Structure 1
């Protein structure tokens, strides 16, 4: 032993030197991340947000700013709950993968094996639709088809209504021929999970995902706002500032759309979620592997090709894009990137994983903030993938924010028409058209007189209530609720034809979940 003893001081010296070096590197990384966050906040003045970064499988950065409700003085922290919106989809597919691991389900099982009443518009598609098809946006339906059964909330549509309504939604493309984002089939996937898992979807998700991973603050289904506490509220930008919208009631009800976008989690939960994916041998609370390597690979296997946008090519040198099971798959400066976004009115989220680097990040925002989210994504991804130093030096937060602003203002960027001054349509001019109408999947609406105006009102979606106005030769519905920010054209059939009408978005580039284009109403009765 004596001949080894002189090495110990040297070893201790090098260990101390390495620790100092690691601490310095971490301080440098933290400072760089702080600069990004500070610059994004200076540009966009978000009401509140939370950012977490995982590097080499460990959480190396957490940052929270702002308030749960603007002006309340109640600060956002690492345990504050945010709606993660469509990032819920990867949790739904994880629950299904756990059921596959348990031998209770196969990805290529026909949906009708578990839900015999499931029907698509085409009988052949009904027979061919597999569980995997519910998850990859290849149904042939228009993007957002039938989403008016989910949003705006609150409404009284049930999952049974969705299962029944799908048969009336006509495809606009061939089955499995192209990608078009879909929410309704994730509701069906949740019902498959419930059937196979022997419990309501919400209970299956808690059992298969929340509990084994220790996502102790995540919420799904019905819960008590104040009992859980520390809940961020959504905000919309109005007249240059963020104002609260659609604030939660004291009792938060289970939502029909939970499997597609109903989960709420904290920053601490979401960094735990990231680590579960960046640690291939992650074990659950029972000490057993949480998910097999086979199913991890299945979830991140390219299933449906997606278009690569010019922005992706320019910003990240992206060459491929595809959808897996609840995840978007791309390359960014040569690195494999697994990600998803979540968008609900007043709530934006982003999850990005770089599996080969065992790194990733999450961004949660309680405001309408699409551009801020895009800048966060690019700047944080670059912390791990930057491959062109000269380009990356000149492109900072301001560069990307300016590029997005210029893109939005470019000629032809928006297709919303300039509509002349409107005036309320009168009961006299629409008298032959007044009545109760029905669409086979959306249900009944009334087009009836109220004083000297004509009002449109949905029976099952109360926020879709508004006044019919005349804009030149056309009729438009202007919704009462501020949260419903997409007016719709209403086009009645010619006077010598049956009393029917169709609808469409005034701005064709508005959120596709305002799926007015798939509605076809026929008159079924008189105004009461």
Structure 2
């Protein structure tokens, strides 16, 4: 590894401490506060598509890893995948296969960029940890000290919410609350809308009483970093995380697709095969959700990122102190242990740190996270006591593939030679999903376009305090639902029995939604709910509470 260090990292650290900021907002110019750092380039084993590449040490059992890779590609008909394994502090095995876009002939390479989705969270948390090291903020600082406009539904929670609380999913909000301000993309919500909307999201439990995964708090965390760092979140992340660790291909904010080189595109599976969806244009725009799940990186970079945690160099230990590394991996919020966790991995304890999940697996400690966006899946798994781990990135509908790959690759380490088989875990997963009570999705095959005079629908314009305005109005092709702030949430209103259902125009919008209308004495309300009650929590229609504000224009 080539290392270029600043002559004296202590001087800028002292300056940063002197310049510590106690307040500020998200708007207006900010003075830049550069943290101490260095430039590090990391050489990672590279390979052409579907060709094995190993470090000089090599993998303990490359044939087993090849088998895992090939079984997953074949069983799940994945458009493309990149997978790398670290053993004892070295990249031991790398393999890629498939295409960046199905049918394009462009192979997935170790340098191909993938959306890492929620694996972005650990990078955001590490940026804040760097600022704590520099004395720019403290984990127990009130959020309002740095973002005076920050408000939660409860004034006491607003006052008591600390920076650390933004990272550990204990806000009391429902799982995925407010995610409709982030996805589907693109939409018109900005980070100021996120912060304003939080005041209207109602909690489902008391503050710090339990775990419920959220994304909005990470968006707020990114704005805290920006407020104390004097630059936009994207600028800080590039300067304080990507550059010091040599994550040269990682992208955040606006960037050029051509300049980035190989870029994987998300896919959905149809009867005719994998089809690319929401493909990038020449310029990839900055997105509101960056701090929660908007970073893209290559397999090379994700392996370099993993090595920073598993086997940090002396320079990397300067990049982040041992104290803050410990904080990142401390158990801050307990997580439930599922039946699958117990049966597959003999897990007894799970918890959430700062951007990381922690768990015991077959008697070994693991630190990990997953990333999920429409048409993109990733997992980063670390076994710190072994200085080992793995990275998997998929550019297709890979939920099941990721589950079984994670299981098989874990067994490669914890039960070598016995259970590292994708097909065996796939069969177990499919048996769970075909259980008699597995699906609660109602039959909607009787759906037909709804009439404007249907008594179960009240036409008009409606407003929700955090999601904004929508219309339910008669148009040439029937009654339509249209969102002002999230244009992809537009579709025809259908009748299913005596209920109304929105059939979204865009097939990539994950879940359809029921619409229900009520008169409560103060006017007409409209509420919504997922067609599939067990569907992805980011489709948080249940948190919406629309009030009719005007007639259709």
TM-score, structure 2 as length reference: 0.88
For 1:122, which of 131, 154, 157 is the aligned residue?
A: 154
* 1:340–1:495 distance in 2 versus 1, CA, 3 Å: closer
- The structure 2 residue matched to 1:329, chosen from 358, 362, 365, is 358
1:471 — aligned with what? 496
C-alpha separation between the residues in 2 aligned to 1:270 and 1:432?
50
Out of 351, 368, 376, the residue aligned to residue 405 of structure 2 is: 376
Aligned to 1:17: none
Look up the match of 1:248: 280
CA RMSD of aligned residues (A): 1.8
Quote the residue 1:171 is aligned against: 203
Per the alignment, residue 325 of structure 2 pairs with: 296
Does 1:42 pair with 2:67?
Answer: no
Whether 1:506 and 2:528 are equivalent positions in the alignment is no
Gaps of 5+ in 2: 1-53
More helix per residue: 1
Would you say the 8 A contact 2:456–2:517 is kept in 1? no
Q: Quote the residue 1:312 is aligned against.
A: 341
Return the match for 1:444 from 457, 469, 486.
469
8 A contact 2:59–2:92 mirrored in 1: no
Distance 1:186 1:495, change over 3 A: closer
Q: CA deviation at 1:396?
A: 2.3
1:168-192 deviation per Cα after TM superposition (whole angstroms, max 9, x unaligned): 0000111111100000000000000
Which of residues 523, 534, 542 in structure 2 aligns to 1:517?
Answer: 542
Contact 2:527 2:544 in 1 (8 A): yes
What stretches of structure 1 move > 3 A for 4+ residues in a row? 22-28, 494-497
The Cα shift of 1:393 comes to 2.6
Match of 1:279 among 308, 311, 329: 311
Which residue is 1:263 aligned to? 295
Gaps of 5+ in 1: 1-21
Q: Work out which of the residue numbers 141, 144, 154 in structure 2 matches 1:112.
A: 144
The residue aligned with 2:49 is: none
Q: CA deviation at 1:236?
A: 1.0
Whether the 8 Å CA contact 1:280–1:293 is kept in 2: the answer is no
CA-CA distance at 1:266 after TM superposition: 0.5
SS of corresponding position for 2:61 = helix
Q: What's the counterpart of residue 357 of structure 1? A: 386
Q: Check 1:363–1:282 CA distance in 2 against 1; reply closer, same or farther (3 A cut).
A: farther
- Report the more deviating stretch, 444-453 or 186-195: 444-453
Confirm or deny: 8 A CA contact 1:225 1:249 kept in the other structure: yes
Equivalent residue, structure 2, for 1:7: none
Q: CA deviation at 1:451?
A: 2.4
**1:452 Cα offset (Å):** 5.6
Q: Which moved more, 1:448-457 or 1:254-263?
A: 448-457
Partners of 2:462 and 2:471 within 8 A in 1: yes
Distance 1:526 1:408, change over 3 A: same
Q: Does the 8 Å contact 2:516/2:527 carry over to 1?
A: yes
Cα deviation digits, residues 97-139 of structure 1 (max 9, x gap): 1101111111111100100110000000001100010001011
Q: Is the 8 A contact 1:427 1:452 kept in 2?
A: no
1:420 shift after superposition:
4.7
Q: Deviations over 1:124-157 (max 9, x none)?
A: 0001100010001011111010000000001010
Q: 1:137 aligns with which of 143, 166, 169?
A: 169
The separation in 2 between residues aligned to 1:131 and 1:24, in whole angstroms, is 43
